[in-house]
Amino acid sequence: MTMAHDHDRKDCLAMFAKLSEYLDNELDELTCKDIEDHAGECIPCKACLETLRQTIGLCRSLAPDEKPVPEAFSNRLKALIQKMSREKTTS
């Protein structure tokens, strides 16, 4: 495993773009693996992914019958992802 390196920020942006689909489970296994691989090497992206997962996990634990993430909630996550990717672009 490589140490955190100065990778192309475009990789991060591409990951963020895929992330909202990933959260909806719309991605195939290979793309999910891409995202997880990137998060494995990119600490800011990993932190972000884990925060999102925890948020979803929390939401699901409140719904014992394992409903899918409510649409409004998923939309909020998408807005958050968009905001973060915008911040990455401008910084």
Residues lying near Zn ion in the complex (CB under 5 A): 12, 42, 45
The answer to whether the CB of 38 falls within 8 A of the CB of 16 is no
Residue nearest to Zn ion (CB): 42
Phi, psi of 79 (to 5 degrees): -65, -40
Q: Minimum CB separation from Zn ion for residue 50, in Å? A: 13
Q: Minimum CB separation from Zn ion for residue 37, in Å? A: 11
| Closest to Zn ion by CB, 41 or 73 | 41
How far apart CA 21 and CA 77 sit, in angstroms, is 11
Q: Minimum CB separation from Zn ion for residue 15, in Å? A: 6
DSSP 66: -
